[in-house]
Amino acid sequence: MSPNVPRRYWLTGASSGIGLELAKVLLESGAQVALSARSREPLEALARQFPGQVLVAAADLTNSQAVREIGAQIAQAWGSLDTVILNAGTCEYVDARQFDASIIEHVVRTNLLASSYCIEAALPLLRAGQTPHLVGVASAVTYLPMPRAEAYGASKTGLRYLFESLRIDLSPEGIDVTVVSPGFVDTPLTERNDFPMPLRWPADKAARHIFAKLNGRPLEIAFPAMFIATLWPLSKLPNRVQLLIGKRMLRSPPPHKDDL
């Protein structure tokens, strides 16, 4: 792409947390960014702050028709996309003593199915873009089973597999695929957690780190490095040892949280 032509992004989950901070970093770089979230006001505030750079595409991304309409909106406005960053997600914890399948359903719909709707809408636009790049925000929790994370971990593990399989299938078309695996980050999803969150990063630091790494188009962006360096070896331990580690982490269920 010519250096005089701004890169065009679609970023989901842009109203808070990593998404909001990443939106600011992208816009400060001069990019044009389609911003999606259920909350319209934070997106419109960014549009006022960066006039001419923002396409507000507020919607509930678990609604497949609403996502198709966003795709049509972007196609009409720009005709193509260069990078898609699927960041929107939710976290709800499971209490196994009163197992509620609706929690699994809600989290999987939000984290996995909504992402698949966005991929369906995005791929034709990426195929028309320059050096296309598809990015999905998973989680470091996918490395190791955690207590109460049945819904969140299952959805993010599914998201990781979806993106890693797509990486293979899209490679002949020159569409690069990156998985982002954050550790603990200060966001509305983590602020009420009732357990220690080692090496926690502020959201703006996480956003700057992701943006700095995107140009290299790595297969994965995992951080913080020290946290990942500890977690990765634990994921290779025998299942029985992982079970003992998980038991030591058991605590009472925290409240549900949602961030789209």
Reported as a pLDDT band with limits 50, 70 and 90, residue 143 is confident
Please state whether 217 falls in left (phi above 0), alpha (psi between -120 and 50) or beta. Answer: left
Output the CA angle 234-240-243, nearest 5 degrees.
70
Instruction: Note the pLDDT of residue 190.
Output: 56
Q: What is the pLDDT of residue 254?
A: 47
> What per-residue confidence (pLDDT) applies to 74?
98
Q: What is the DSSP string of 175-210?
A: -EEEEEEE--EESTTTTT--S--TT-EEHHHHHHHH
What is the pTM assigned to this prediction? 0.86
The backbone region for 165, taken as left when phi is positive above 0, alpha when psi lies in -120 to 50, beta otherwise, is alpha
Cα distances (angstroms) measured from residue 191 to each of 15, 137, 141, 194, 201: 16, 19, 17, 9, 12
Q: How many CA atoms lie within 13 A of 224 on its CB side?
A: 13
Task: Say whether 50 sits in a helix, a strand or coil.
Answer: coil
The burial of 247, by beta-carbon neighbours within 10 Å (0-12 exposed, 13-18 middle, 19 or more buried), is given as: exposed
pLDDT, one tens digit per residue, over 71-127 is 999 999 999 999 999 999 998 989 999 999 999 999 999 999 999 999 999 999 999
In this structure, are residues 80 and 91 in contact, taking their beta carbons and an 8 Å threshold? no
Asked if pLDDT for residue 15 goes beyond 60, the answer is yes
Candidates 22, 6, 26; CA nearest to 14 is 22
62, pLDDT greater than 50:
yes
Q: What is the per-residue pLDDT for 242?
A: 63
Q: What is residue 97's predicted lDDT score, i.e. its pLDDT?
A: 92
Average pLDDT over residues 241-251: 66
* pLDDT band of 170, cuts 50, 70, 90: very high
The whole-number pLDDT of residue 98 equals 95
Judged against a pLDDT cut of 80, whether residue 244 lies above it is answered with no
pLDDT given at position 199: 67
CB atoms within 10 A of CB 256: 14
Backbone torsions φ then ψ of 89, nearest 5 degrees = -170, 175
Q: What are the chain's domains?
A: 8-259 (3.40.50.720)
Average pLDDT of the chain to the nearest whole number: 89
pLDDT at 185: 80
Question: Residue 203 carries which side chain, given as an amino acid letter?
Answer: A
Mean pLDDT of 19-26: 98
Instruction: Give me the mean pLDDT over the 223-244 stretch.
Output: 73
State the pLDDT at residue 7: 97
Max CA-CA distance within the chain? 58
Residue-wise pLDDT for 38-58, tens only, equals: 999 999 999 999 999 999 999
Q: Please tell me the predicted confidence (pLDDT) of residue 148.
A: 84
Active-site positions? 152
Q: Can you give the pLDDT at residue 141? A: 85
Which backbone phi and psi does 136 adopt, to 5 degrees?
Answer: -125, 135
Residue among 136, 140, 163 nearest 152 (CA): 140
- On the question of pLDDT at 241 being above 80, the answer is no
Q: What is the mean pLDDT of residues 228-256?
A: 65
Distance CA 9, CA 86 (A): 10
Distance CA(258)–CA(260), nearest Å, equals: 7
Task: Give the helix/strand (H/E) hosting 235.
Answer: helix 225-235
Nearest to 198 by CA among 211, 207, 209, 185: 185
